[in-house]
Amino acid sequence: MTEKKNLLLKPSRPVGIIGYGAYVPRYRLPATEILRVWKGSKGGVPIKEKSVPGLDEDVATMSIEAARNAIKRAGIHAHQLRAVWVGSESHPYAVKPTSTIVAEAIGAVPHVQAGDWEFACKAGTEAFVAAMGFVGSEMADYAMAIGMDTAQGKPGSALEYTAAAGGAAFIVGPSEESLAIVEASYSYVTDTPDFWRRADQKYPEHGSRFTGEPAYFEHSSKAASTLMEAMGTTPKDYQWAIFHQPNAKFPMRVAKMLGFSKEQIEPGLLSPMIGNTYSGAAIIGLTATLDIARPGDRILMTSFGSGAGSDAISLTVTDKLLERRDLALKTQDYIARRKEIDYATYARMRGKITVK
């Protein structure tokens, strides 16, 4: 136990989430529409529908919306932020930071640290853990971590059914101001080549047999179980649990492997309704859970990023959540605000039809 306890990431100054906000585009593409176009038949699909960004939306614009929601709940001014970090695998520019665009738009410049983060689907929690250290070391009082994606899927591929758009923003600050206090975190990482996209490739590729057992399930389960063992907790000590959601089946399976019930993960299981939002998948599940949690509730969030790694984070909700969560739109508000589109409209919006 002592040896495992030394693996925990705990800042010297207690920290927590003082503000959070989500964003999901309004457009939805039914999975049956993808099946109709590419298979010409009816059959089983991995999700109900997925969110699709509009023609004027990208990771920067969506991050700004989520960031503004987080600031509303935090009750601080953006110029008090000393860091704005954006994690994504679909930054709009190959060379030019997304973070400076977001920082400028929300009013955090110029006295702020900014940077873009990458680690496939766990770029958002990677930035979050760094924000824990930034605030926990007293280098800053407030730091913003965002996970947001407009994920890509090759037309007709299995990935196209679930690759969606959306994410969340969190402001990390001192524990005494927090809506949810971070108890500890733990990261589990190996070089497992389950998913990648080289610089000259438009769409990512899957490592087939590496995707499930050696990648997602190995890293998610080890991160969560090691964190709980080191903290001396069990699934029964948590009211809620959130896992990365590449589809509807994977998070259900890993939850069962670890001993969590369907009821514990249901509030944060959003993939059937909006698809896999990649860097925002686990953390947007956390926003949906915070939207219904009560003071004293304990939450376990475990992200997963291909390549591969997982961050597990344990939080406890405080009384301040009830005072602030209605100050901005809730995650389900964005999910309910939907407009269905057909495949042709989706192909146009996502640049899958090129005219030369």
Residues designated as active site: 89, 121, 244
Q: Could you give the CA distance from residue 53 to residue 62 in angstroms, rounded to a whole number?
A: 9
- CA gap 275, 151 in Å, rounded: 10
Residue 351 to residues 11, 52, 53, 152, 266: CA-CA distances in angstroms? 43, 12, 11, 10, 34
Pick from 5, 320, 3, 343: nearest CA to 175: 320
Residue carrying structure tokens 């989430």: 17
**Kind of pairing between the strands at 15-23 and 27-30:** unpaired
The DSSP call for residue 298 is E
Separation CA 334–CA 343 (nearest Å): 21
Q: With contact defined as beta carbons under 8 Å apart, do 299 and 268 qualify?
A: no
CA 139 to chain centre: 25
**CB neighbour class for 326 (10 Å; exposed up to 12, middle 13-18, buried from 19):** exposed
- 26's CB contacts (< 8 A; 6+ apart) are 54, 334, 337, 338, 339
Q: What is the DSSP letter of 280?
A: G
